Every structure is written in C-alpha cells, then in structure tokens.
C-alpha cells in the first residue's frame, strides 16, 4: 500500500531554487549591503541563536554535535535531520469521531515514534471519553477512563493533540520566539531556545503543550533513532514540547505514526492545498467541526462524522 | 578627586551603618538570612531535579511563584499612591516619606524578578530574552512587555532614590531637573507595570477566568490597597525605633486612600461575580471553583472566603475616620488588607484561572514544601534588601549620616527628602 501522501511534484519542487541573476549595483547599495552583512554576521556570531536563524554551516555543525551526543547517550546511531517544509504543502488532520473507539493505540504509537519520556510519562495525545447525551463537552470529559473493553456504551471518544492553529496563541505569547509556525503549517518549538516559562501552556486552549518537569527518560533500546531537529529528537529537562504532526515522517511524505497505528482508520492526514487529497474530500463532504471554534484559533485539525 | 572621596565615604559609611544595630536588628537580619539560605538550598534542589519537585504539572502550569510575582508587582506599583499626593498635589506630610515608598518599590521589583527566575525551567537560558544577544519577542508577547516595563520602572525608582539620598548625604539639594520628570514618569509607569501584568493573563482567550476586561482595573485597585498596607506598618516601625517623625496626618491620609481603593476592589469583584453568576455560562466553572468548589474539589474555598472577609473588614475599618486614627484598628486593617489581597491575588487569581484545565480536568494544586521554602527565601531576600536600604536611608533623612567634608555645609534634616 502506498503510504505517501505528498504528490511527487511537490517533493521535486523542493530542489527548485535557481541561481540569482547578476545585476548592476551602485556603490551605495554595495556599501549598505556590506554593512548589513557585517551587522548580520555580528548578530549571529554572538553565541548560539535560534535554529531557524543559524547559517547553514552552523546548523550543520549543530546537527552533527547533536547526533554525536545522542548516539553516545543512547548507544545507537542517531540521525538528526532538518528536512525543510515542501512548497505548496499545508498539512492538515482529520479525525472521525464516529469511528474512534478510544483504544489509545495512537497515544502509545506517538510516544514510541516521538521519543516522549516514559518516566515521567509524557503524552502528546489525550483521549477524552465523553457522554453521548452531552456531545463534545470538556467539562464532563474523562481522560482517565479505564474499562475492561472499549468503546463503552453511551460514550464516544475525542482524542486531542496540538490543533496546529493558524492563529496560534502559543506562538504569539512566547517571549523568546522559541516557537513558531513553519511554512507547511506545523507549529514547532526550538528546544535549544525555550526558557521554560510555560506562558505558551497558559495560552493553549487545547492543553497540547507539555513541559518536562524532570529529566525525560527513554530506556536505551527504545529510542527512535530517526529524528528531526524540530520534532522527535530527545528533549532536555525544563522545556516545553508538543505534537509536530510527526515532522520527521510527514516531511518525507509519510503518514504520522498515530494515523498508521489507528486500528479503525479514524485518523486522516494530508495536504490541504491539494484539491484531490482525502482531507479536502472530508472537509467538502462531511460534517466537520473544530474544537473551541469561538476563540478563533483556526485549527488545522478537523473532527468529522463519517456516518 | 572630590567625587571619589565622597563616594568612598558613602560606601564605607553605609557598610558601617549596616553593621551597627541592636539585638532586635540582628535577630531580624539573622532570621531573614536563615530563610534565604533555606530557600537557596531548596532552589538548588529544584535546579538539580527540575520543577517536578514543585506541585505544578501540565494541568496547572503556573502556581505559587507566579502568584507571588503578580502580587508583588502590585506592591511595587503602589508607591504611586504616595507619589501622587506628594508631587502632583504637593502635599508636604507625605512628601517626606515618598523615598520609603520608592525603596519598597525597588525591593518589590527585585522580588518580582526573582520569582520569575525561580519559576522558569531553564534559568541558564535567561539571556535568551535579552535584546541583541538573545531575542525578545516584542511587541507580540506580553511577557516581553512585562520584562521591559518592570526593568524600566526599577531603573526609574532606583535612580530617583539613590540620587535623592546621595545628594542629601553630600549635603546638597537634589537636582529637580532629574527628579521631578522621573517621579512624574513613574506615575504612568506604576500604572503601566500592573496593567501590563494584568494583560499578560487578560489576553489569553484560552482561560476565561482571566479573559475579562475588568482584570487590569481590578489589579490596580487591589495593588493600591496592599502596597500601602505594608508601607503603613513600616512607617510605624520607623517611628517607633528611630527618631524619624511621621505625622499622624500622613498615615491617616494613606489609610483613607486605601479605603477608596478597597471599595473599588470589592466593587469590581462584585461586578465580575455578577456577570459570571447571572449569565451562568460554561465559564462560570472557574469562579465556582474559587468560591464554592466543584464537587469534592474544594481546596481553595476557605481561602476565597477568608480573602473576602479580610477585605471587607479592612474596608470597614479604613472607611471609619475614628478607626483609622486608632492605632490598633489601623494595624488590624493593614494586616487584613495585606492578607486579603495576597490570597486573592496569589492563589485566587492563578489557580482558578488554570483549574479546570483547558480540557476540563481538575488537578488540585497546592504548593509543595519546596515551593514554600523557595518563595520564603525570595521574600526574605527582598525584606533583607529593604531593611539594609532603610538602615542607610533613615540616617540620611535624619541628617545623621553626612559627608565629613568641611567645605560642604551640613544639610538640614528636611532636605533629605523634602525640598
């Protein structure tokens, strides 16, 4: 089965950066360019910077350092990539509420894929059990349901992770600019730049941000060694982390781990800009809702009823 | 070299002053130092094992530290209650004590900044918010605004007090061209620091308890009660233990101003409670958690009602002229105001704002022993700084601590603070 969700054309277009045309420059223009470059160099030369501001060489060196550090710590060859966003791609997610059975396989697939701490446990996905007669209502949601068998009579399930808001309150409030929205719509965190003030957690209406209250622990054999610098690489203590739509997979054209793990096919993922994508079909043909629509965060995570 | 000699005289003289004191002074200093050490040890543990040794978790991601921070911003802002009558209305009895209000503001801001530092997960990365070397997300992040206004307010206040006191020490009159504009600037800035701090919470649509436009006025109203409450006690202590004279009139006037502020505070709380309970939307949840608890979750309820009771008692005491002139009633009122605003601004603002959390879960937060120790350490450090500053400032105001240069004419006592 072909799991690639990104059209090949979009992948090819990534390399499509032509050389700039030579043109005449006046002395003044040249002078101001040199001055700007010098200022820029001075700025970047002052200690480490946010990842997306690093020069290519310095980023490369940083990634190699990280690989060495993680490989040593986890006794396995770890790769840290910085695969950029593909052009003409805006990722979106859809979840079929009528199909979800609340088995939480997505939760644990996510933990394994994204190297979340096992002790203390960090879960990027929270599955909420709700009463059918109340509808989607957080005040009566139960995240700790534990019956012998799911689904339970009279209940339905709403898994919640980062909604990758277009109007994301978390990126707005961050005092250091350590979190931002990538061109493909994924809200990411620079774990090297976050100071752990947790303002983003106060601002997030979906409880999607999680803090490393103590040193995260991953048993040696359990590390997923294929990592992305903005995604599932091991995190330090004292910083915030969150779902990144499995940036390390989806930017290579694969599905997020939770989509693959879902036993009932309730989870859908794709490119919102591709008119032929499954996600567009769902939005155009199904009953779709987003969580907390009234606060205008404009999520790219849609819930729908297929039946 | 005159400046240099003067300065070294000032430093050695200050050190000598700080090292002199009776038994009560040393007991107080020892008590504070002990708390600071205990807080330091607790903080070391926290840095080593992470914020996991606090009771904060993902559900309630801010707690006691940020509550104290919020309260102390109010205390710092409250110096303005003295500055306005003194400088805008040129009311002499208060003008003599303005310097103490500003010293209180300085130590309160230091405590605020320390509470932020102990709250962050990666204090080693604190420089990331510094402009130029780091990156300050200004103007988008309200926290960036808060960093800026708090530091500016700190600079303004410390410049004014050190200038006034140092000039008085060297027997000269302070430079009005520096002091008056800065003092006038400090009035909007005092309002500014507390407004920006309120906006920090106010701007979050995710937390309906905070997302109310009445929040900033509420902050200011409670600040203008709690800050002067501390000051009134400090002034009485000064009067008792030094020869510093503070007119009864000044103290009674400050108490009167506190009564108006407390009325406004209670009124705004009432307005907020009316809106929540009468409209009875799903957002009532947070207010209910504070005042009556949700089911078995009732940790904060006793605090809520003690805050209301204390605030009402303080209001009644301060609105009756006879009571605020009676020193027992006055002090009871001060303590009630302080305690009431502290509960309401600390736990009462932060915890119900985050409980139930964004997905409806109720995690009952209560500060851990470690958090209490760190917070006590920060308070003790702030009080220690305040005590030491007073130890130098009071003799200067009294004209007892002066430069020994013969060519400088000794300044009359009143020159220290009142021109």
- What is the per-residue pLDDT for B132? 83
The tally of CA atoms less than 13 A away on the side-chain side of residue A219 is: 7
Q: Testing the interface with B: which of A213, A240, A241, A242 to mutate, by most B Cβ within 10 A?
A: A213
Predicted ipTM?
0.91
* Helix pair B248-279, B301-319: axis angle to 10 deg: 140
The pLDDT tens digits for B249-262 are 888 888 999 999 99
The size of the A-B interface in CB pairs under 8 A is 145
Q: Testing the interface with A: which of B55, B356, B358 to mutate, by most A Cβ within 10 A?
A: B358
- Give the pLDDT band of residue B247 (cuts 50, 70, 90): confident
Is A265 near chain B, with CB under 8 Å? no
Residues 210-269 of B with CB under 8 A from A: none
pTM, 2 dp: 0.90
Q: How far apart are CA B50 and CA A286, in angstroms?
A: 46
Find chain B residues with C-beta within 8 A of A238's C-beta.
Answer: 50-51, 120-122
Residues 141-160 of B with CB under 8 A from A: 141-144, 147
- Give the pLDDT band of residue A23 (cuts 50, 70, 90): low
- What is the per-residue pLDDT for A1? 45
Q: What is the mean pLDDT of residues B284-295?
A: 96
Q: Which two tokens stand for residue B222?
A: 């409670």
- What is the per-residue pLDDT for A171? 96
Name the residue among B51, B62, B143 with its Cβ closest to that of A238.
B51
Q: What is the mean pLDDT of residues A18-35?
A: 63
* Element spanning A64, H or E: helix A56-74
- What is the per-residue pLDDT for A16? 42
Angle at B23 between CA B20 and CA B24, to 5 degrees: 105
- What is the per-residue pLDDT for B402? 86
Of residues B245 and B411, more confidence is placed in B245
Backbone angles phi, psi at A158, to 5 degrees: -125, 100
Angle at B184 between CA B178 and CA B187, to 5 degrees: 140
Q: Is the pLDDT of residue B407 over 90?
A: no
Chain B's closest residue to A141, CA to CA, is: B360
The pLDDT tens digits for B151-167 are 999 999 999 999 999 99
Q: What is the residue-averaged pLDDT of chain A?
A: 89
Q: Are A211 and A242 in contact (CB under 8 A)?
A: no
- What is the per-residue pLDDT for B419? 39
Q: What is the mean pLDDT of residues A186-191?
A: 97
Residues 187-216 of A with CB under 8 A from B: 193-199, 201-207, 209-215
Checking A280-289 for CB contacts under 8 A at 24+ apart, the result is: A282/A94, A283/A94, A288/A94, A289/A136
The distance of B76 to chain A (nearest Cα, Å) reads 22
Q: What is the residue-averaged pLDDT of chain B?
A: 91
- Give the pLDDT band of residue A39 (cuts 50, 70, 90): low
- What is the per-residue pLDDT for A25? 62
- What is the per-residue pLDDT for B155? 95
Q: What is the mean pLDDT of residues A125-151?
A: 95
Q: What is the mean pLDDT of residues B264-293?
A: 96
The pLDDT tens digits for B76-120 are 998 777 777 777 777 777 777 788 889 999 999 999 999 999 999
Chain A's closest residue to B47, CA to CA, is: A238
Name the residue among A138, A143, A175 with its Cβ closest to that of B141.
A175
Q: Which two tokens stand for residue B362?
A: 């109720």
3 state SS for chain B = CHHHHHHHHHHHHHHHHHHCCCHHHHHHHHHHHHHHHHHHHHHHHHHHHCHHHCCCCCCCCCCHHHHHHHHHHHHHHCHHHHHHHHHHCCCHHHHCCHHHHHHHHHHHHHHHHHHHHHHCCCHHHHHHHCCCCCCCCCCCCHHHHHHHHHHHHHHHHHHHHHHHHHHHHCCCCCCHHHHHHHHHHHHHHHHHHHHHHHHHHHCCCCCCCCCCCCHHHHHHHHHHHHHHHHHHHHHHHHHHHCCCCCCHHHHHHHHHHHHHHHHHHHHHHHHHHHHHHHHCCCCHHHHHHHHCCECCECCCHHHHHHHHHHHHHHHHHHHCHHHHHCHHHHHHHHHHHHHHHHHHHCHHHHHHHHCCCCCCCCCCCCCCHHHHHHHHHHHHHHHHHHHHHHHHHHHHHHCCCCCCCCCCCCCCHHHHCCC
Find chain A residues with C-beta within 8 A of B359's C-beta.
Answer: 126, 128, 138, 141, 143, 160, 206-207
Q: Is the pLDDT of residue A252 over 90?
A: yes
Residues 117-156 of A with CB under 8 A from B: 120, 126, 128, 137-141, 143
C-beta neighbour count of A4 within 10 angstroms: 11
Question: Partners of A268 in the beta sheet?
Answer: A94
Burial zone of A154 (CB within 10 Å; 0-12 exposed, 13-18 middle, 19+ buried): exposed
Residues 57-76 of B with CB under 8 A from A: 57-59, 61-62
Q: Which of B133, B135, B128 is nearest to A46 (CA)?
A: B133
Q: Testing the interface with A: which of B45, B47, B121 to mutate, by most A Cβ within 10 A?
A: B121
Q: Is the pLDDT of residue A12 over 70?
A: no
Backbone angles phi, psi at A211, to 5 degrees: -105, 145
Q: What is the mean pLDDT of residues B71-76?
A: 94
Are A175 and B50 an interchain contact pair (Cβ–Cβ within 8 Å)?
A: no
Q: Which two tokens stand for residue B400?
A: 């007892």
Chain B's closest residue to A211, CA to CA, is: B58
Are B61 and A211 an interchain contact pair (Cβ–Cβ within 8 Å)?
A: yes
Q: What is the mean pLDDT of residues B162-191?
A: 90
Q: What is the dihedral sign for C-alpha A79, A84, A89, A93?
A: positive
By mean pLDDT, which of A22-31, A251-260, B372-381, B399-408 is the weakest? A22-31
Of residues A307 and B310, more confidence is placed in B310
Q: Is the pLDDT of residue B414 over 60?
A: no
Q: What is the mean pLDDT of residues B305-334?
A: 94
Chain B's closest residue to A40, CA to CA, is: B132
The pLDDT tens digits for A78-106 are 999 999 999 999 999 999 999 999 999 99
Find chain B residues with C-beta within 8 A of A214's C-beta.
Answer: 49-52
- What is the per-residue pLDDT for B242? 84
Of residues B173 and A27, more confidence is placed in B173
Q: What is the mean pLDDT of residues B238-259?
A: 87
By mean pLDDT, which of A129-133, B148-152, B413-417 is the weakest? B413-417
- Give the pLDDT band of residue B417 (cuts 50, 70, 90): very low
Q: Is the pLDDT of residue A8 over 50?
A: no
Q: Is the pLDDT of residue A13 over 70?
A: no
Are A138 and B126 an interchain contact pair (Cβ–Cβ within 8 Å)?
A: no
| Residues of chain A above pLDDT 90, percent | 81
CA dist list (Å): A204 to A161, A201, A297, B64, B185: 11, 5, 10, 20, 36
The tally of CA atoms less than 13 A away on the side-chain side of residue A29 is: 4
Chain centroid to Cα B188, Å, comes to: 16
Task: Put residue A135 in one of left, alpha, beta given phi > 0 → left and psi -120 to 50 → alpha.
Answer: left
The distance of A111 to chain B (nearest Cα, Å) reads 17
- What is the per-residue pLDDT for A18? 42
- What is the per-residue pLDDT for B191? 93
Q: Is the pLDDT of residue A206 over 90?
A: yes
Q: Are A284 and A269 in contact (CB under 8 A)?
A: no
Q: Testing the interface with B: which of A116, A127, A175 to mutate, by most B Cβ within 10 A?
A: A175
Q: Is the pLDDT of residue A27 over 90?
A: no
């Amino acid at each position: 089965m072909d799991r690639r969700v990104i059209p090949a054309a979009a992948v090819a277009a990534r390399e499509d950066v032509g050389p700039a045309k030579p043109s005449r420059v006046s002395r003044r223009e040249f002078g101001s360019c040199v001055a700007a470059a010098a200022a820029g160099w001075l700025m970047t030369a002052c200690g480490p910077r946010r990842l997306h501001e690093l020069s290519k060489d310095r980023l490369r060196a940083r990634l190699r350092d990280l690989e060495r550090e993680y490989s040593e710590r986890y006794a396995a060859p770890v790769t840290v990539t910085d695969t950029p966003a593909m052009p003409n791609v805006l990722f979106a997610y859809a979840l079929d509420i009528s199909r979800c059975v609340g088995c939480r396989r997505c939760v644990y697939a996510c933990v394994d894929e994204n190297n979340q701490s096992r002790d203390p446990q960090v879960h990027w996905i929270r599955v909420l059990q709700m009463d059918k007669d109340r509808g989607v209502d957080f005040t009566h949601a139960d995240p700790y349901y534990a019956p012998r068998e799911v689904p339970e009579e009279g209940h339905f399930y709403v898994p919640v992770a980062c909604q990758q808001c277009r109007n994301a309150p978390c990126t707005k409030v961050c005092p250091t600019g350590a979190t931002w929205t990538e061109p493909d719509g994924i809200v990411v965190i620079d774990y090297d730049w976050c100071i752990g003030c947790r303002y983003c957690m106060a601002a997030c209406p979906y409880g999607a941000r999680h803090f490393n209250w103590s040193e995260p622990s991953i048993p040696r054999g359990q590390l997923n060694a294929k990592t992305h610098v903005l995604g599932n690489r091991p995190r330090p203590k004292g910083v915030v982390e969150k779902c990144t739509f499995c940036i390390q997979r989806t930017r290579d054209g694969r599905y997020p781990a939770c989509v693959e793990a879902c036993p009932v096919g309730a989870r859908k993922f794709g490119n919102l800009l591709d008119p032929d994508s499954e996600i567009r079909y769902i939005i155009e043909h199904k009953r779709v809702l987003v969580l907390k629509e009234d606060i205008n965060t404009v999520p790219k995570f849609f819930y729908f009823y297929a039946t | 070299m005159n400046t240099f000699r003067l300065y070294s005289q000032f430093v050695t003289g200050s050190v000598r002053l700080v090292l002199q004191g009776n038994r009560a002074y040393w007991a107080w200093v020892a008590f504070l130092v002990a708390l600071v050490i205990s807080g330091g040890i607790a903080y070391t543990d926290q840095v080593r094992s992470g914020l996991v040794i606090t009771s904060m978790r993902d559900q309630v991601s801010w707690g006691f530290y940020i509550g104290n921070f919020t309260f102390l911003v109010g205390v710092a802002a409250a110096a303005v209650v003295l500055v306005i009558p003194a400088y805008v209305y040129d009311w002499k009895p208060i003008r003599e004590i303005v310097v103490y209000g500003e010293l209180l503001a300085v130590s309160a801001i230091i405590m605020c900044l320390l509470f932020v530092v102990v709250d962050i997960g990666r204090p080693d990365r604190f420089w990331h918010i510094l402009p130029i070397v780091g990156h300050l997300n200004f103007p988008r992040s309200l926290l960036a605004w808060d960093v800026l206004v708090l530091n500016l307010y700190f600079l303004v206040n410390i410049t004014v007090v050190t200038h006034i006191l140092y000039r008085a020490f060297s027997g000269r009159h302070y430079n009005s061209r520096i002091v008056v504009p800065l003092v006038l600037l400090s009035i909007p800035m005092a309002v500014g620091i507390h407004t920006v701090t309120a906006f920090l919470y106010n701007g979050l649509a995710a937390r309906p308890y905070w997302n109310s436009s009445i929040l900033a006025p509420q902050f200011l109203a409670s600040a203008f009660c709690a800050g002067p409450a501390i000051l009134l006690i400090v002034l009485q202590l000064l009067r008792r233990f030094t020869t510093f004279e503070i007119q009864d009139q000044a103290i009674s006037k400050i108490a009167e101003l506190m009564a108006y502020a407390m009325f406004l505070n209670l009124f705004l709380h009432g307005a907020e409670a009316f809106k929540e309970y009468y409209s009875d939307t799903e957002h009532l949840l947070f207010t209910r958690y504070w005042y009556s608890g949700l089911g078995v979750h009732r940790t904060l309820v006793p605090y809520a009602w003690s805050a209301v009771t204390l605030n009402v008692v303080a209001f009644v005491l301060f609105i009756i002229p006879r009571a605020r002139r009676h020193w027992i009633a006055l002090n009871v009122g001060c303590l009630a105001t302080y305690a009431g605003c502290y509960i309401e601004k600390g736990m009462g603002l932060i915890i119900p704002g985050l409980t139930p959390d964004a997905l409806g879960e109720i995690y009952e937060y209560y500060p851990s022993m470690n958090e209490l120790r760190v917070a006590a350490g920060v308070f003790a450090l702030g009080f220690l700084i305040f005590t030491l500053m007073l130890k130098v400032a009071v003799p200067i105001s009294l004209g007892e601590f002066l430069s020994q240069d013969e060519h400088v004419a000794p300044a009359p006592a009143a020159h220290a603070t009142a021109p």
